[in-house]
Structure 1
Amino acid sequence: MPRPPKREPERGDARTRLLKAALDTIRLKGFAATSVDELCQVAAVTKGSFFHHFKSKDDLGVAAAEYWAETTTAFFAGAPYHASEDALERVLAYVAFRKSIITGELAEFTCLVGTMVQEVYATSPAIRDACAASIFGHAATLEADLRAAMKARRISGGWTAESLARHTQTVIQGAFVLAKAGNSPALARESMDHLDRYIRLLFGGPLQEKAQS
């Protein structure tokens, strides 16, 4: 997922301000360490306003995952990697784009839903499911290009466009974990380079030769 910029509290409805505060604060501190009081302070709203919009902190977590999915869907839909006429080139451009947005502090480029689901998958099924919808939904946006690339290059085997699309997200989410463990964005960018090589090896052909020349 992309790294929306750091935000100062904005004028506007309290619910949206709380959701934006959640995106930044949870990616920085994690879900468990983020308190309702802190979110209210960051969003510049009262605690009463929080509970007017959300029944609980978990309810906020579900809404934050859904808001993340909504905003990142729009972000990726407008990204430049869709421009190429060749399906495989679009897939590789997607990987390059993911690498290009790994900049700044760790909390700025890592994924909200990936962060939350690692913490709550066993304790909050509602948040887990909302995170899953975001992650798998984003993976699904790659399937058409992967399927077209497989058809154009007559690729077949024990894998599908759907499984490869999911694997791209496995690498990306894992790259974020490594970056956090090593406190280095460079580790995440390194993983994107390996993902690019892996996809080229799967498809082979003129595009791979062109990349090496």
Structure 2
Amino acid sequence: MAKPIAKPIAKPNAKFKLLDAALLLIRERGYTATTVDELCVAAGVTKGAFFHHFKSKDELGIAAAQHWSATTGAFFADAPYHNLNDPVERLIGYIDFRKDIIEGDIAQFTCLVGTMTQEIYGSNPEIRDACAASILSHAATLEPDIEAAMRDRGVDGDFTPASLAAHTQAVLQGAFILAKATGDGAVARSSVEHLKRYLLLLFEE
């Protein structure tokens, strides 16, 4: 995630091979266009192994959203911005980190759960809810620093730490859509820079 995804969690069994394959293929092709056969080939497992672990492709989709959360959660937990002492600096460090990992092929830096949500939000509530849980649980990791920054800088606006944390994810997901639409990661990096400017103004840095 420098990529929006850490090195996939290494597990020597078919289930985790399939989940790791899903993280790659769905971001490249989309959820609907990715077939069970393609997942099996990419994972190097049989179709029988697929249905041993997952009753359907949709069940894998839910599990893939959860796997994405676990994988990227570990990646962000180890990021260097956590070592900064000031909460505003940590928040800005997070934004800088997100910008820095927007590099390479678009499929490598865009978000699995954002990609799936755009496709299935109206047709598959189970996957949609799993994607929402992933996005919002990541946003929640920013709330303590936002709350501390508001307190330390005396910011008493008509917003909550949760709403501002969610806004950061809205900008990031929108940046990924623009990158896909234009075929250019630079437009995504520009959007993240605007988010950084907004936060600096908000906290008067």
TM-score (norm: length of structure 1): 0.92
Q: Deviations over 1:163-189 (max 9, x none)?
A: 100000000000000000010000110
Matched, 1:67 2:71: no
Question: Unaligned 5+ residue runs, structure 1?
Answer: 209-213
Q: Which residue of 1 aligns with 2:175?
A: 175
Q: Residue 4 of structure 1: CA displacement?
A: 3.0
- d(CA) in 2 for partners of 1:175 and 1:112? 14
- Equivalences for 1:117-196 in 2 at 5 Å? 117-196=117-196
In structure 2, list runs of 5 or more residues that go unmatched.
Answer: none
1:211 aligned partner: none
Question: Which whole-Å deviations, capped at 9, do the CAs of 1:26-69 have from their partners, x for residues lacking one?
Answer: 00000000000100111111111100000000000000000000
Change (3 A) 1:5 1:148: closer
CA contact (8 A) 2:6 2:75 kept: no
Task: Report deviation, 1:83.
Answer: 1.0
1:6 Cα deviation after fit: 8.5
Distance 2:137 2:182 in 1: 28
Q: Residue in 2 aligned with 1:4?
A: 5
TM-score (norm 2): 0.96
Aligned to 1:110: 110
- Are the counterparts in 2 of residues 99 and 189 from structure 1 also a CA contact under 8 Å? yes
Contact kept, 8 Å, 1:40 with 1:47, in 2: the verdict is yes
Q: Distance in 1 between matches of 2:141 and 2:36?
A: 34
CA contact (8 A) 2:82 2:90 kept: yes
2:29 partner amino acid: K
Deviation, structure 1 residue 3: 2.6
**Contact persistence 2:95–2:196 (CA under 8 A):** yes
Matches within 5 A, 1:39-50: 39-50=39-50
Give how far 1:5 is off. Answer: 6.7
Separation (CA, whole Å) in 1 of partners of 2:141 and 2:87 = 13
Give the SS at the match of 1:3.
Answer: coil
Between the aligned residues of both structures, percent identity stands at: 59
Rounded to whole Å, the distance in 2 between the matches of 1:30 and 1:106 is 12
Indicate the residue corresponding to 2:91 in structure 1: 91
* Cα pair 1:171 1:191 within 8 Å, conserved: yes
Deviations 1:128-182 (A, max 9, x none): 1110110000000000000000001111121111110000000000000000001
Q: Is the CA contact 2:40–2:50 (under 8 Å) kept in the aligned structure 1?
A: yes
1:11 Cα offset (Å) = 8.0
Q: Which residue of 1 aligns with 2:54?
A: 54
Conserved 8 A contact 1:5-1:108: no
Secondary structure class of the residue paired with 1:32: coil
Q: Which has the larger radius of gyration?
A: 1
